[in-house]
Structure 1
Amino acid sequence: MMILLFFSASVSAVAAEPAPGGIGIRLLDIPASTKDDPRARTYIIDRLAPGSEISRRVQVENNTGAAQTIRLYAGAAHIDGGSFIGEDAGAHNDLTTWTVVGRPQIDLPAGGTAEVPLTIKVPSDAPESEQYGAVWAEVRSAADKAGVVQANRVGIRVYLSVGPGNGRPADFSITSLSPSRDQHGNPQLSALVSNTGGRALDITGDLRLTAGPGGLSAGPFGIQNATTIAPGTSRNVIFTLPQELPNGPWTARIALKSGLLEREASASVTFPDAGPGEAVAPAADGAVPWLVPATVVAALLAAALLTSFLLRRRRRRLSGPGMAASAAGKRAPGRRSADVTR
């Protein structure tokens, strides 16, 4: 009986740059329609109609210092807990059955590279959905006395959306900001992100703090690892800040993105001395919370102009001929009118 133990690298950008002493795999083809999307440079991301197909090439590298037999295959994956998780080699889904790797096994000398084609063909009766998977490059050790085989692999994520049209575009909103301190006393700010679109997201971004105690500013602070959020779900994106940071209040401004999609939000936050603080609703798309909305400014300006017009009209009526004659007729005895000269 053989027991297979997997030691997988993260199915992300780490796959594009092989670590010294290991194997690597990277994507060679980027569709012209997504050439400006940074995610498309690392992952296979596409939208296909049933009955259509795409072809890609990957490059496999052997930097182990010895000749290696490398297996190549498509594996199932899923999104859970904000992470893109590649499943074991025996796990399958619809995407793995649609994917054909041109060279399932290659022998590479130390320092050698090879290009491998792959094709994803969606059957004509495929349901509209988003499929997740990975293209893996894997090396295995010989079985030990207990029958244990160790498998080391690196992979490229695959996000495939299936449908007759373009489908719902990617989109997300920042629902709330929650200050807190972790068990070590480090201040943290959690942004609750809701995936309101039809595509999975890989959220990165940064946080800046301004208008702090004594006019202090801090940041930018980045997210250590990208958070993956499936369509229709929400996930907290957490920024961990220096322990010596004062409680506040601060104006927190966060800028999050997934590929070319960007969203900004800001809010006034105060970090607690310990544990969770109070969640606040942010102002979306970079708006500053204390600024008056443009619609309100326009309404106030219109009201001011109308009031000015009515006052000028009233003054003109009061200074007309009829009113002047009436005023002259009511002058008190002994007083001279304004137009009398001495």
Structure 2
Amino acid sequence: MRYVMSLLVLAAAWSVATLAYATPHHAQDPAGQTGLGIRLAEVPVELKDDPRALSYIVDNVNPGTTIQRRIEIQNHTGAPQKVELYAGAANLTDSQFTIEDGRAVNELTTWTTVDPKEAELADGTSTDAVVTVAVPEDAPEGEQYAVVWAQITGPPPTGTGTQLVSRVGIRLYLNVGPGNGSPADFSIAEVTPQRNSEGIAQLVAEVENTGGRALDMAGEVRLSGGPGSLSAGPFNAVNGTTIAPGATALVTIDLSPDLPNGPWTADLTLRSGLVNHLTSASVTFPDSGVGTPVGTGDNGSGFPWVISFAVLLVALIVTVVLLLRQRSRQNT
């Protein structure tokens, strides 16, 4: 029997390099780092401003394209280790990035190799490896998911037949399609105030992925205009909500058990990578259970309303000028 301990590196355990292939930067290890570690060691220039690309292997490619990423593996386990490196299947299930057992295979893993496949690491040392994804000419369009794993196997505890396997990994998101593919985007349909079984106030946002890429949701909410002019926050969204293209999911933000029911003005910001959406809603929390859903004024990145206001202002100025000219001619 094998007992597997898995850890996905979501926001790398160490600082992630933000420079391009030509000048990768290796950050210092944090004090007290223990166990096996893995991180991206380089980021393509065109993706250096994308927060997701700093933690995950993310790309959009045409069929027939080959991409590479360099990763770093570190051993702080307190003993020498033989580290196995490989790609394992993953998927999106119920708005969660889910990993398959063991060395499960999907199409993306069959295109992915890690060189070297094994590394002998003394304690306190590190090594680099290259992840290569060779997309075949006949690859289907769409986004696929995997994890690049670094794995060590320990001796079974005395008197047991259990083998202890520990692994850490980096998510791999690959969108296959012509051109740049559909950009990432989403909309916030409504927000619902509620209290969980422990009485903690929560704000739940219904989010629809309207783009062509999977979304890893983050964000926060600020409350203002509460009873007695109270304000509260910011409160951060619960991590772990991943939304597939075309899907809808709920993003939950825990607030406080002592929060008055309201009403409140909730200013909600949600983001995935470089895409930000802002919305405001008037909400009242119930004494218990689920409250009344409220539609939102999803303001996207925050710029469209500015443009609309500018257009209206220009139109108003033009109208006033024309009226003044017409009146001047009549007086003449």
- In the superposition, the TM-score normalised over structure 1's length comes to 0.83
Evaluate the alpha carbon distance shift between residue 16 and residue 196 of structure 1 in structure 2; reply closer, same or farther with a 3 A threshold. Answer: farther
- Quote the offset at 1:184 in angstroms: 0.9
CA distance in 2, matches of 1:86, 1:29: 24
Q: Is the 8 A contact 1:15 1:156 kept in 2?
A: no
Match of 1:72 in 2: 85
In structure 2, the partner of 1:238 is 252
Look up the match of 1:274: 288
Q: Give the AA of the match of 2:288.
A: A
Distance 1:68 1:297 in 2: 67
The one-letter amino acid of 1:175's match is A
Aligned residue in 2 for 1:165? 179
Cα distance in 2 between the residues matched to 1:299 and 1:228: 42
- Secondary structure of the residue that 2:110 maps to in structure 1? helix
> Matched residues in 2 for 1:256 and 1:127: separation?
31
Q: Aligned pair 1:250/2:264, yes or no?
A: yes
How far apart are 1:244 and its partner, in Å?
1.1
Amino acid in the other structure paired with 2:224: T
2:8 maps to: 10
Q: Aligned in 2, Cα 1:62/1:278: closer, same or farther, shift over 3 Å?
A: same
User: Matches of 1:223 and 1:208 in 2, distance apart?
Assistant: 11
Instruction: Give the structure 2 partner of residue 219 of structure 1.
Output: 233
1:138 aligns with 2:136: no
2:108 pairs with one of 79, 92, 95: 95
The superposition leaves residues 233-265 of structure 1 with CA deviations (integer Å, 9 ceiling, x where unpaired) of 111111111111111111101111111111111
How far 1:21 sits from its partner (Å)? Answer: 2.5
Output aligned runs, 1:63-212, within 5 Å: 63-143=76-156, 146-212=160-226
Q: CA deviation at 1:83?
A: 2.1
Deviations 1:140-167 (A, max 9, x none): 1224555321211100000000012211
Query: How far did residue 300 of structure 1 move?
Result: 11
**Aligned letter for 1:49?**
N
Q: Work out the CA distance in 2 between the residues paired with 1:300 and 1:43.
A: 46
Aligned to 1:321: none
Report the 3-state secondary structure (helix = DSSP H, G, I; strand = E; otherwise coil) of the residue aligned with 2:211.
Answer: coil
Which structure 2 residues correspond to residues 279-318 of structure 1 after superposition, within 5 A?
A: 279-285=293-299, 294=309
Larger radius of gyration: 1
Quick check: 221-230 or 177-186, which moved more?
Answer: 221-230
- Output the CA distance in 1 between the equivalents of 2:187 and 2:204: 14
Aligned residue-pair number:
310
Q: Distance in 2 between the 1:10 and 1:250 partners? A: 37
The alpha-carbon distance between structure 1 residues 14 and 298, as it changes in their structure 2 partners (threshold 3 A), is closer
Going from structure 1 to structure 2, the CA distance change for 1:146 and 1:211 (only over 3 Å counts) comes to same
Structure 1: gaps of 5 or more residues:
288-292, 317-342
Say if 1:11 and 1:86, in contact at 8 Å, map to a contact too: no
3-state secondary structure, aligned to 1:79: strand
Q: Which amino acid aligns with 2:115?
A: G
CA contact (8 A) 2:84 2:117 kept: yes
Q: CA deviation at 1:301?
A: 6.2
Q: Do the aligned partners of residues 168 and 296 (structure 1) sit closer, same or farther apart at CA in structure 2, a change above 3 Å counting? A: closer
* Partner Cα separation in structure 1 for residue 238 and residue 210 of structure 2: 24
Instruction: Check 1:4–1:198 CA distance in 2 against 1; reply closer, same or farther (3 A cut).
Output: same
User: Is the 1:186–1:241 Cα contact (8 Å) retained in structure 2?
Assistant: yes
Q: How many percent identity over aligned positions? A: 47
The 1:213/1:299 distance shift into structure 2, 3 A limit, reads farther
Q: For the structure 1 residues 143 and 193, does the alpha-carbon distance in structure 2 shift closer, same or farther, using more than 3 Å as the test?
A: same
Please give the root-mean-square deviation of Cα atoms over the aligned residues, in Å: 2.9
**C-alpha distance in 1 between matches for 2:57 and 2:198:** 39
| Secondary structure in structure 2 of the residue aligned to 1:244 | coil
Structure 1 position 81, deviation (Å): 2.8
SS in structure 2 opposite 1:247?
A: coil
Report the Cα distance in structure 2 between the residues aligned to 1:169 and 1:27, rounded to whole angstroms: 23
Does the Cα contact within 8 Å between 2:262 and 2:283 map onto a contact in 1? Answer: yes
The equivalent residue for 2:26 is: none
CA deviation profile, 1:194-244 (whole Å, cap 9, x unmatched): 111000011101100011112111111112324211111111111111111
Per-residue deviation, 1:187: 0.8
Cα distance change, pair 86–15 in 1 and its aligned pair in 2 (3 A): farther
